[in-house]
Structure 1
Amino acid sequence: MTTIYGLKNCDTCRKATRWLDRFGVAYTFVDYRDNKPSPETLVEWAGRLGGFPAMVNKSSTTWRQLPDNRKGAASDAEWKLLLREHPQLIKRPLVVTDDGETSQGFTDNGFKKRFGIGA
């Protein structure tokens, strides 16, 4: 089973879930504003995605509105606190499959490759 983490109001998340529906890929959607990821989950994702800075959408309004001292998180503890406080900073959708593979973002071709559709 695939788990999609994102925001229910996010256009990209909606595109991703419509794509999964169209191609019959079973998934569970988790809105991480309502179900904030645990610190352990954030560390796990960061390890799979290349670190905390790689997980953050730095072009988002939320990021731009943060004070500069919050943007310069220097430790994993600071990143975990920031992402638990502002989960909407996490690039979305974040996709986790049963085999543990973790990725972020949505493109038609990227999902086709990821899920072996039309390859």
Structure 2
Amino acid sequence: MSTVTFEVKTYEIKIARELTAMSGGVTSKFPAYILCRGDNYHVVIYILNDSSPVPSNTFIPERKRGTIFAPKWQYEWFVDLLRNEKPVYCYLNSQSPDWNALYTGQEPVGEHEM
């Protein structure tokens, strides 16, 4: 089992009419993905079409790469987190890849936007 936590340093978003990816023998259709990079690791968040099959998340430690497959309605959550929070971290787990996630650093209760 391998787990990694890294700070997301940069991200990029690709939006297209329809892209496809294969994972675990499942071909998924998606209109967008978000690529988050740290110093050594990266994660690709695939934003799936509503009708697309949902493959399992992955983490391949040797490639320092993880995936998160998310429904289209969560796209805005990921973008909002990346644009408005700092620091943002990524957690990847090879044994339980469904736990792969982005999350924020600790913030004081009641903190609000200025």
Q: Same fold (TM over 0.5)?
A: no
- TM-score of the two chains, using structure 2 as the length reference: 0.31
More helix by share: 1
- TM-score of the two chains, using structure 1 as the length reference: 0.30
More strand by share: 2
